[in-house]
Chains A and B, each alone.
Chain A
Amino acid sequence: MKAKIYVTLKQGILDPQGKAIEHALDSLGFKNAGNVRVGKYMEVDLEEKDKVKAEAEVKQMCEKLLANTIVEEYRYELTA
């Protein structure tokens, strides 16, 4: 099983990189683009075959190491 994990700054916390990209998009003429958030994307291979157990494991990984939940939020997808 493969976990695809996304970590971004929480809404409400200023993301200066996101803001800079937003301004760049705007100046390129993408006037409708807004609220750009920059984050991290990680892929992790898991030996666990059971989806529920794998999910619990990924959640622990995120809480313990992959995201700092004071300032970041995470989401993930599990694929076979």
Chain B
Amino acid sequence: MLKIGVVIFPGSNCDHDCQHIFKNVLGQYVEMIWHKETLLAGLDAIVLPGGFSYGDYLRTGAIARFSPVMGAVKGFAKKGGLVLGICNGFQILLEAGLLPGAMLRNKSLHFICKDVSMKVENAATSFTSAYESGQVLKIPIAHADGNYYTDPVTLASMQANAQIVLRYCTPEGKVTPDANPNGSLDNIAGIINAEGNVLGMMPHPERCAEAVLGNDDGKQIFLSMLESLKGNKKQLKMIPA
């Protein structure tokens, strides 16, 4: 059994959904980690969940990145540990400098909560290996600040290194401006660091990871992580849906 750590910041609200998926759907051990913790022992992966840490004061993620736990998260990431940031977790990873770039307010200025289509551009990562390359997923977004921005040099280097893992698209899989819900640069929905062990994504895979809830398109994000951690792809693909 793998041990997954889910960090709780004041204002996190997707922490228990992440716990539910790893524990009840995928049968792993989950440790809930209060943001005041400074030691993270024996974890196989860390999830920074969605929510409104510190009320989004100043900027999304700007205060959470200085939480005591973030020193340990950084150390874990530096050693190659898998870190997944979802929505506010992604924003925290950006503010912490664990991923390049920054989030701007959605172009429409609205909080957007709806299902969107998203394409897996790179299925050769520890977070997407259970998908086919080019696969289109239906997945919910729920954010006001998901308009990803980075400088042209960083964008070009991320494009060249296939670090843009997830992009907003039409249901047919076409990456067009109309399919971009928030104005995000290059339709970016999720990126990975150059080392391939830290992924941030705005959509919520934990909200669509069970067939009984009507959609399990997001489940393979978590399955991919487990596969990568166990180094045994075949065995885990047999877990019933």
Chain A positions within 8 Å of B, measured between CB atoms, are 9, 13-14, 16-17, 20, 40, 65-66, 68, 70-71
Cα(A7)–Cα(B14), bound, Å: 30
Beta-carbon contact of B108 and A16 below 8 Å: yes
List the A side residues contacting B62 at CB < 8 Å.
65, 68
The secondary-structure label for the interface of chain B is loop
Given A65-B66, A68-B95, CB of A16 within 8 Å of CB of B105: yes
Q: Which residue of A lies closest to B59 (CB)?
A: A68
Beta-carbon contact of A20 and B102 below 8 Å: no
Shortest CB distance B34–A (Å) = 22
Cα(A66)–Cα(B59), bound, Å: 9
Beta-carbon contact of A71 and B149 below 8 Å: yes
Cα(A45)–Cα(B105), bound, Å: 29
List the A side residues contacting B107 at CB < 8 Å.
14, 16
B: number of interface residues (CB 8 Å): 17
List the B side residues contacting A13 at CB < 8 Å.
104, 149
- 5 CB contacts below 8 A, A to B, read A13-B104, A13-B149, A14-B107, A17-B105, A17-B109
The B84-129 residues at the A interface (CB cut-off 8 A) are 95, 101-102, 104-105, 107-109
Cα(A14)–Cα(B109), bound, Å: 12
Residue B172 at the chain A interface, CB threshold 8 Å? no
Q: Which residue of A lies closest to B100 (CB)?
A: A70
Cα(A58)–Cα(B59), bound, Å: 18
